[in-house]
Amino acid sequence: MAVLYVSLRVAGFVAVAVVRFRDSTSYLDVAREPLSSKAFFAGARPWAVPLFYKVLPDSDAYRTAGQLVVSVLCWLALATVTARCVRDERLQFVAFAVVLVFSLSSSITRWDTLILSESLAVSLTAAVIATWLALLRVARPSAVSIAAVLVVTLLWTFARDTNAVPVVFVALLVLVWVTRPGPRRGRIVLLTGLVVIAGASWASTTTAGASLRRVQRPITGAVGVRVLGNRGMTAYFRHHGMPEPTPRVRANAARLKGIAGGPSTDPATEVFLDWVRTHARTTLGLYLVTHPRAATLPLFTERATLVDESPGYLPPGARPGLPPVLRSIVYPGPGVAAFAGAGGVLLAGIAVIRGSRARRVMAVPVLSLLVLIPYASLIWYGDAFDVPRHAILVKIVLRLSPLLLGVFLIDAELDPSSASTQSDSVKVGQCTMSPGVDA
């Protein structure tokens, strides 16, 4: 099966054109900076993608081939770990195959020939999920499995700035886990590592070069479109010190990012823009914390942008990797279908949990779905431009997590002996629950 999968991925790659975009240059510019420089690790782009390009020969052909290799390896890893989490032998091959078929969707493969961050970010998302499944599938996770989670999470976090937000939420969940009964040393190491990663991500945006590209421009665009386009948000920002928007700001709200990066304007507009650059990010964070309804709704109310599949960024020569019928099953395009699938699987999961057949690995897809809510809000409010591309991880995880949870639920039904109420011990390599966990 693995050989067939690799063959299909290579066949779908060789005839596809390599494409650069305006953003591509910024990643390559950072990649050319010395590793010892602040411009590399705290520059205009987070360092994971530039580091990947840096270790490869200076050619787009090598970069895209490298993206393909990483993608294949990460999805094979996720398929392997998923299969190992399944106890019923009849279902193990199915679990392995389902993950690989899912990854053949053009929504995943289309990014491999584009010089952007998406290919690596998508691949590392699969790797992050795989490492967490590997961590939770055994009763006493090893130091290697904890280290794997932290290393992959580090790379994933620095593939895209927005990925730091899920890391913060996961750290909070691990903090709760630390308070639970059982050995805590491994859990504390995990928590400490996640906090350090999130802190390092924030610190990398505080330099002048990073702040301009990774903070000021996105938040300025968000203020122009999201804040000034919403009367309630405008009032909140005005209450927290935002100057009255000038006629020039109002007239150019949709392209405020461009004005902020251009020549000086009138003094009143400059005062407004200076406040936005300095205070808008913090004010937006306070707004989302104090307005939970606004913070949770975008995933559902803006599904055409955040959830529905978009036709853009399809490179010349790309062909669908799956027949339409099969794709509609494993990777439904419309957001309504994706939500219906996720909701149905979650309801089934509740039934299984109530029947005391829950397994710890089920927490990975369930919590992945829950973390999507704040993650989608950050993408929606944090930048108003190219949101469908920025939301690619939302789209993929919303479809992948129910698939994984469905496999684990079926396995729990086929092998009810794994119920936690029937056994207080866990054999290494099996995905059952245990009251004593060494992580």
What tokens were used for 326? 């099969």
Same domain? For 345 and 214 the reply is no
Does residue 417 surpass a pLDDT of 80? no
Q: How big is the chain by its Cα radius of gyration, in Å? A: 22
Same domain? For 93 and 225 the reply is no
Same domain? For 305 and 393 the reply is yes
Mean pLDDT confidence for 269-283: 93
**Which of 77, 29, 20, 19 has its CA nearest to residue 53?**
29
**258: containing domain:** 210-290
In angstroms, what CA-CA distances link 274 with 91, 259, 336?
Answer: 58, 12, 41
Q: Which pLDDT value is given to residue 339?
A: 78
Mean pLDDT confidence for 392-421: 82
Q: Which of 236, 271, 290 is the last residue of a domain?
A: 290
Question: pLDDT-based confidence at 7, cuts 50/70/90?
Answer: very high
The residue that leads in pLDDT, 4 or 413, is 4
Query: How much is the pTM?
Result: 0.90
Question: pLDDT-based confidence at 263, cuts 50/70/90?
Answer: low
Q: Is residue 435 part of a domain?
A: no
Query: Which tens digit of pLDDT belongs to each residue from 96-123?
Result: 999 999 999 989 999 999 999 999 999 9
Question: pLDDT-based confidence at 431, cuts 50/70/90?
Answer: very low
In angstroms, what CA-CA distances link 249 with 226, 229, 238?
Answer: 13, 12, 14
Q: Tell me the β-bridge partners of 19.
A: 114
Under 8 Å between Cβ of 67 and 27: no
Cα 69 from chain centroid (whole Å): 20
The number of CA neighbours under 13 Å toward the Cβ of 427 is 7
Q: Which pLDDT value is given to residue 428?
A: 34
Does residue 335 surpass a pLDDT of 90? no
Q: Is residue 431 part of a domain?
A: no
Q: Is residue 429 part of a domain?
A: no
Same domain? For 220 and 341 the reply is no
- Phi, psi torsion values for 114, nearest 5 degrees: -105, 135
- Alpha helices for 15-111 (secondary structure H): 22-31, 38-41, 48-54, 60-84, 89-103, 106-109
Q: Which pLDDT value is given to residue 264?
A: 64
Same domain? For 113 and 94 the reply is yes
Does residue 435 surpass a pLDDT of 50? no
Same domain? For 382 and 345 the reply is yes
Question: pLDDT-based confidence at 359, cuts 50/70/90?
Answer: confident
The residue that leads in pLDDT, 139 or 355, is 139
Q: Is residue 39 part of a domain?
A: yes
Task: For residues 192 and 150, give the distance between their C-alpha atoms in angstroms, rounded to a whole number.
Answer: 10
What tokens were used for 90? 């009849």
Spell out the residues 6+ positions from residue 241 whose beta carbon is closer than 8 angstroms to its own. Answer: 275, 279, 283
Spell out the residues 6+ positions from residue 362 whose beta carbon is closer than 8 angstroms to its own. Answer: 349, 352, 353, 405, 408, 409
Same domain? For 170 and 68 the reply is yes
Least confident of 82-86, 266-270, 354-358: 354-358
Q: Which pLDDT value is given to residue 40?
A: 95
Task: For residues 207 and 45, give the distance between their C-alpha atoms in angstroms, rounded to a whole number.
Answer: 11
Mean residue pLDDT of the chain comes to: 88
- Phi, psi torsion values for 19, nearest 5 degrees: -130, 135
Same domain? For 42 and 182 the reply is yes
Q: Is residue 433 part of a domain?
A: no
Cβ–Cβ contacts within 10 Å for residue 68, how many?
22
Q: Is residue 34 part of a domain?
A: yes
Under 8 Å between Cβ of 132 and 35: no
Q: Which of 290, 324, 356 is the last residue of a domain?
A: 290
Task: For residues 418 and 360, give the distance between their C-alpha atoms in angstroms, rounded to a whole number.
Answer: 11
Does residue 422 surpass a pLDDT of 50? no
Does residue 300 surpass a pLDDT of 50? yes
Q: Which pLDDT value is given to residue 353?
A: 63
Does residue 287 surpass a pLDDT of 90? yes
Same domain? For 270 and 301 the reply is no
Q: Is residue 432 part of a domain?
A: no
Q: Which of 290, 324, 354 is the last residue of a domain?
A: 290
Q: Is residue 439 part of a domain?
A: no
Same domain? For 200 and 253 the reply is no
Same domain? For 170 and 78 the reply is yes
Q: Which pLDDT value is given to residue 231?
A: 94
Domain count, the chain: 2
Same domain? For 298 and 281 the reply is no
